[in-house]
Structure 1
Amino acid sequence: MEPNAHFWMTERQSFFQRFVQWTELLDPTNLFISISKIEKARQLLLTNEDGSIHDLQDKRIQAAWNRSLATVHPDNSRLIPGPFRPAALLPFTAPMVFLSLVQVKSLKSIILPQLSFCTYSTAFNLINGNKSYHRGLYETVLLATGVIASTAFFGILPRLLLMKNVVKNVFLRETLPAAILTQVSALSVATSRSLEPVRGIEVMDKEGNVIGYSRRAGTKAVRDTTISRVVLFGTSAFIPEVFAQFFKKTPLFVRYPQSLWTLKLSCTILVMGLMVPVSFSMFPQIQRIRRGQLEQEIQSATEETELFYNRGV
């Protein structure tokens, strides 16, 4: 069995345990781990497969697990490209989130942040989603292009209406950018991983033996990940806006109006810094599912009462 899948299957089942683990995996230094160090860590885990999972007090074993979990996909054992590892989500998307919330008056200032966010989100979701079903290169490129085009359209059009002063209500004008960003993030997950509920993803027993491909498990994996993204980007978008509204009423804003940008940027980074591990920890990486919740052909293929599947990030 893939060591990463085995780890998530047997460890970190409570929210707090998963949160602590993700705070370690989201260390920015994990973006720059050399391939040789990753290979050494994987070799250590593979050669100590029987005892290393429960020997987390050993600093050497713990470091090996962190390197492996932060850089290797649990479905296909392939290296995740640096810019799309879980630790890259915060530094890459925080500036995009901030720029997407800033009120602008030019078309260029609207399109670039939204298109960048949609492109990066689509690539991140495709790379970190479930990899247990077949998807060709041509199909992947076509899917990614469609997702980027559709999510960018739904993200840019409402902002254009705001720029043209079509929306007159002050409250809507202030909150709509955050709502748009939340909607786009959810739509990106649901569409970029839309093949998982259609083709089904692998479900396995506790020994890692593949029992079959389940569309129901694929639907649940996409739904749970979508919820976690809504929590992440919804909270990260709305809280800075709330703080900004209070800040506008202070004498400091009247004296230094440009400080609003600094406040919103700092607040966005701080909130996202907390919400990324929270959102990743909401649901287990390797989720359990009762046999009775799966398709009839999978139920008849095993006597196990509980099966497992990779939710993806």
Structure 2
Amino acid sequence: MEPNVRFWITERQSFIQRFLQWTELLDPTNLVISIEKIEKSRQLLLTNEDASRGDLEDKRIQEAWKRSLSTVHPDNSKLIPSPFRPAALLPFTAPMVFLSMLPVKKLKSMILPQVSFYTYSTIFNLVNGNASYDRRPHESVLLGAGVIASSTFFGLLPRLLQVKFSLSTVLSRNVIPVLVLAQLSGMNVVASRSLEPMRGIEVMDKEGNVIGYSRKAGAKAIKDTATSRVVLFGSSAFIPEVFSYFFKRTQFFLQCPWSLWTLKLSCTILVMGLMVPVSFSVFPQIGRIQCSELEKEIQSATEETELFYNRGV
């Protein structure tokens, strides 16, 4: 069995345990681990099938799990490119979220942040989504291009209306952009991973044996991940806006107007720093689904009452 799958199936963690686990996996040093070190860690885990993350006395096994879980895709056992590993989400998207929420005077100033944000989000979702179904390279390219274009268009739409009609209310300047960003972040997951509920993803028993391919499991995986993205980016955009709204009414802001952007950027990074591990921890990495909820052909192929699938990040 793939070590990462084995870990997530056997380690039935609570939300708090998953949160603490992700704080380790999101360590920025995981972006620069050498391939040689990752291969050695994987070899250690493959030759020690009984190795548990709870083996506190064996530091080598602890470090091996950390390297494997943070750098290797559980479906195909391939190395995840450094810019799209889970640990890269915060440093790449926090500045983009901050720039996307800045007040606009000209629409041109918003095009690059929006394009950058949705391009990165789409590729991140494609790379870290379920990879157990057949997918040709050109399908991913065409699907990704369409998702980027549509997400960027709908992301710019409220800003376009704001500039065209000179809207300056709190609703148009602050509330609507936050709602649009949160909803589009969830829809980006649904669209970029839309092949999963169409073709079905692998479902397996507790031993890692593949029972079949389920479209219903694919739909559930996307729904859970999309929900976590709405929570992540919705909170990361909303909380700094609230702080900024009240900060602009203080005497300090009147004396130092430039401090608003420093506060807003700092707040965005701090909120995202907390919300990234929270969003990854809301649902287990390897999801569980009752066999009775799956297709009839899968139910007839096994006597298990509960099956597992990779939710994706």
Q: Which residue of 2 aligns with 1:231?
A: 231
* Structure 2 residue 311 is the aligned partner of structure 1 residue 307: no
Percent of aligned positions that are identical: 73
Tell me whether 1:270 sits opposite 2:239 in the alignment.
no
For the 8 Å contact 1:247–1:260, the answer to whether it is kept is yes
8 Å CA contact 2:104–2:159 kept in 1: the answer is no
The 4+ residue runs of structure 1 with deviation greater than 4 A are: none
Residues 89-168 of structure 1: pairs in structure 2 closer than 5 A: 89-167=89-167
Report the AA paired with residue 174 of structure 2: E
Q: Secondary structure at the match of 1:186?
A: helix
Q: Counterpart of 2:253 in structure 1: which amino acid?
A: F
Residue type at the aligned position of 1:136 = R
Question: Could you tell me which residue of structure 2 aligns to residue 72 of structure 1?
Answer: 72
Where structure 1 has 5 or more consecutive residues not aligned to the other structure, the ranges are: none
Could you tell me which residue of structure 2 aligns to residue 177 of structure 1?
Answer: 177
Amino acid at match of 2:268: T
State the distance in 1 between where 2:189 and 2:51 align. 36
Opposite residue 223 of structure 1, the aligned amino acid is K
1:222 aligned to 2:233? no
Tell me by how many angstroms 1:227 deviates: 0.2
Aligned partners of 1:263 and 1:51: how far apart in 2? 45
CA offsets, 1:144-179, max 9 Å, x none? 001001101100111111122354543332212211
Take 1:144 and 1:57, find their aligned partners in 2: how far apart are those partners?
Answer: 45
Give yes or no for contact 1:45–1:52 (8 Å, CA) kept in 2: no
Farther-moved stretch of structure 1 (208-217 vs 169-178) = 169-178
Residue by residue over 1:33-83, the C-alpha shift from the partner in whole angstroms, topping out at 9 and shown as x without a partner, is: 000000010011111112345524421110110000000000000000000
Root mean square deviation of aligned Cα? 1.1
- Number of aligned residue pairs: give it: 313
Separation (CA, whole Å) in 1 of partners of 2:167 and 2:4: 49
Q: Is the 8 A contact 2:122 2:148 kept in 1?
A: yes
- Extract unaligned runs of 5+ from structure 2: none
Amino acid at match of 1:101: M
* TM superposition shift of 1:13: 2.0
Instruction: Out of 186-195 and 52-61, give the one that drifted further.
Output: 52-61
CA gap 1:169/1:104 in 2 versus in 1, 3 angstroms: closer
**Residue type of the partner of 1:283?**
F
Please report how far the alpha carbon of residue 221 of structure 1 lies from its aligned counterpart in structure 2 after TM superposition.
0.2
- The residue type equivalent to 1:160 in the other structure is L
Contact 1:15 1:282 in 2 (8 A): yes
Residue aligning to 1:41: 41
Answer whether contact 1:224 1:283 (CA < 8 A) is retained: yes
Distance 2:145 2:192 in 1: 10
1:202–1:214 CA contact under 8 A, matched in 2: yes
Secondary structure of the structure 2 residue equivalent to 1:104 = coil
SS of the residue 1:213 aligns to:
strand
Q: Is the 8 A contact 2:204 2:308 kept in 1?
A: yes
Distance in 2, matches of 1:165 and 1:16, equals 47
TM-score where L is the length of structure 2: 0.98
TM-score (structure 1 length as normaliser): 0.98
Partner Cα distance (1:270, 1:54) in 2: 30
The amino acid across from 2:234 in the alignment is G
Range 153-162 or range 122-131, more displaced: 153-162
Q: Distance in 1 between matches of 2:57 and 2:298?
A: 38
Distance between the aligned counterparts of 1:267 and 1:169, measured in 2? 23
SS class of match (2:289):
strand
CA distance in structure 2 between the aligned counterparts of 1:258 and 1:164, rounded to whole angstroms: 27
Q: Distance in 2 between matches of 1:148 and 1:65?
A: 34
Distance 1:55 1:163, change over 3 A: same
Residue 72 of structure 2 aligns with an amino acid whose one-letter code is V
Q: CA deviation at 1:183?
A: 1.8
